Structure formats: C-alpha cells, structure tokens
Amino acid sequence: MVKVIFRQEVPLAPCSMVVSDGKFINDHYKRYQFNGVVTLWLKNNMITVFGIYDTSEGKKKLTRNLLLDNVKTEGNVFTGTVKSIDVSPADEIDDNGNFFSAKGERLNIHFKKIKKGEFLVMINNNWISSCKEN
C-alpha cells in the first residue's frame, strides 16, 4: 500500500500578517511604531504593505507594493529579488526608506506551518510574525 501525504509548506492563497504596536528601527536608525497589514501574494510575486507609521514627528500612512523577481521556492523557503517598490501617492513617508528590502536586494521568506491556513513567517532573519491565508 502506498500512502501519499500532501504537505503544504508555503501559503497557496494570499497570506496576511496583522501588526499591532510593532516597534522597529528604520534605515536611518530612528525608532518607529507600525500598525497595519502586510500581505504576501506569493503566486503574484508581490508583497503589499498598508498601515500607520508612527514616529516622533507624528503619524503617517504607509502604503506600498514590493514586486519580486528571480523567485524560487524550495520546500518552505521562498526567495526573490526586489524588482521594484511601488509607493502609492497616498503614502506619506518622506524618507523613501525600505520596509523589508531595497530595490535589487534579496528577500528570503521562511515558513513553518502552524495549522491549516496559518504559518509562522520569518523574513530576512529579522521579521517574525504569523500569517493567515485569506
């Protein structure tokens, strides 16, 4: 008897991470707090980010898309290069800092399945969150 087990190692549908009171340091070594949603669109080689970026200068809206190129998936690791960063006209961040990676930089996303439709995600060894398929 042959037993085939289907094991989903990366999300097949868009996978969203909700960030509440996330405390980070930007490219200019300034502290900020982020509240928003990051969605991984692996089939479309894209990451969307929308939320409120709160710094000592006040609250500003962050809304951008990262388009990925040279994408590969091996097991539970998804890698690619940032092809472009589309900053929405509604984005209010003036410093043009990068949220995950700059254009041309490598992006590595490691998944660990928690339960059906939910994954633990590590991005570039410095961002850890849970992600739920939509």
Question: What is the number of domains present in the chain?
Answer: 1
In a domain, 93, yes or no: yes
In a domain, 50, yes or no: yes
In a domain, 35, yes or no: yes
What pLDDT is recorded for position 5? 40
Model confidence at 6: pLDDT above 80: no
SS3 32: strand
Domain, as residue range, for 60: 15-73+80-104
SS3 19: strand
Summarize pLDDT for 35-79 with one digit per residue, the tens: 999 999 999 999 999 999 887 778 999 999 999 999 999 999 999
In a domain, 22, yes or no: yes
**CB-CB contact of 53 with 94 (8 Å):** no
In a domain, 56, yes or no: yes
Query: Model-level pTM?
Result: 0.88
In a domain, 133, yes or no: no
User: Quick one: what percent of the chain has pLDDT higher than 90?
Assistant: 63
